[in-house]
């Protein structure tokens, strides 16, 4: 019997100790587990120069021309009709400042299929013409096409439509 009493007394002491500890626990306000952690200190003030920011292109597309040949000054005479073996040149005239801006052109066939897509890097501090050429070794299928221009992934300029016969 002594052994049972000792075990009971030990359990009773452990139980009372646990209740006493729970009773002494400080009440804390409930916190939202999704809320950012609270900070007790203000952020340190910045010292030195701010970190460099990526330079954004400040370029406007002033015109888009589709043609067959480019002159020495990169200008392209507009053409609305092409033969299947013709080279298609999308000429993009820009104004502004850019450092490594991505100028892209996409040709879309009448059924919505992309017939070609290319890009070029633009570095300029003023007016500039960028020509993007498309060739098809098998010949362009007859039909209507659309040329669209993008600068850094954003649509720019007026899309041009032309036809291959």
Q: What is the mean pLDDT of residues 60-89?
A: 96
Residue 55 placed within a domain: no
Residue 156 placed within a domain: yes
- 3-state SS class at 81: strand
Q: Is beta strand 88-109 parallel, antiparallel or unpaired with respect to 58-67?
A: antiparallel
Residue 157 has pLDDT above 60, yes or no: yes
Query: 157 lies in which domain range?
Result: 64-164
Nearest to residue 76, comparing CAs of 160, 163, 164, 165? 160
Q: Where does the pLDDT of residue 39 fall: very low under 50, low under 70, confident under 90, or very high at 90 and above?
A: very low
Lowest mean pLDDT among 57-66, 77-86, 97-106: 57-66
Q: Where does the pLDDT of residue 23 fall: very low under 50, low under 70, confident under 90, or very high at 90 and above?
A: low
How many structural domains compose the chain?
1
Q: pLDDT tens digits, residue range 84-119? A: 999 999 999 999 999 999 999 999 999 999 999 999
Nearest to residue 102, comparing CAs of 163, 65, 153? 153
CATH label of the domain that carries residue 103: 2.60.40.10
pTM for the model stands at 0.65
Q: Which residues contact 121 (CB under 8 A, 6 or more apart)?
A: 100, 101, 102, 103
Query: What is the Cα–Cα distance from 46 to 15, expressed in whole angstroms?
Result: 54
Instruction: Check residue 58 and give its pLDDT.
Output: 85
Instruction: Check residue 116 and give its pLDDT.
Output: 96
């Amino acid at each position: 019997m002594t052994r049972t009493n000792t075990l009971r007394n030990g359990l009773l002491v452990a139980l009372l100790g646990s209740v006493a500890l729970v009773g002494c626990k400080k009440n804390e306000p409930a916190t939202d587990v999704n809320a950012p952690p609270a900070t007790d200190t203000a952020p340190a003030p910045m010292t030195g120069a701010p970190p460099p920011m990526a330079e954004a292109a400040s370029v406007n597309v002033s015109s888009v021309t589709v043609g067959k040949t480019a002159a020495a000054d990169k200008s392209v005479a507009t053409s609305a009709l092409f033969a299947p073996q013709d080279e298609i040149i999308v000429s993009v005239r820009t104004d502004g400042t850019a450092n490594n801006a991505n100028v892209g052109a996409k040709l879309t066939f009448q059924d919505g299929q992309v017939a070609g897509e290319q890009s070029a890097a633009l570095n300029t501090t003023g007016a500039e013409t960028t020509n993007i050429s498309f060739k098809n070794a098998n010949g362009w299928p007859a039909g209507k096409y659309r040329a669209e221009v993008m600068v850094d992934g954003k649509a720019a300029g007026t899309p041009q439509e032309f036809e291959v016969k």
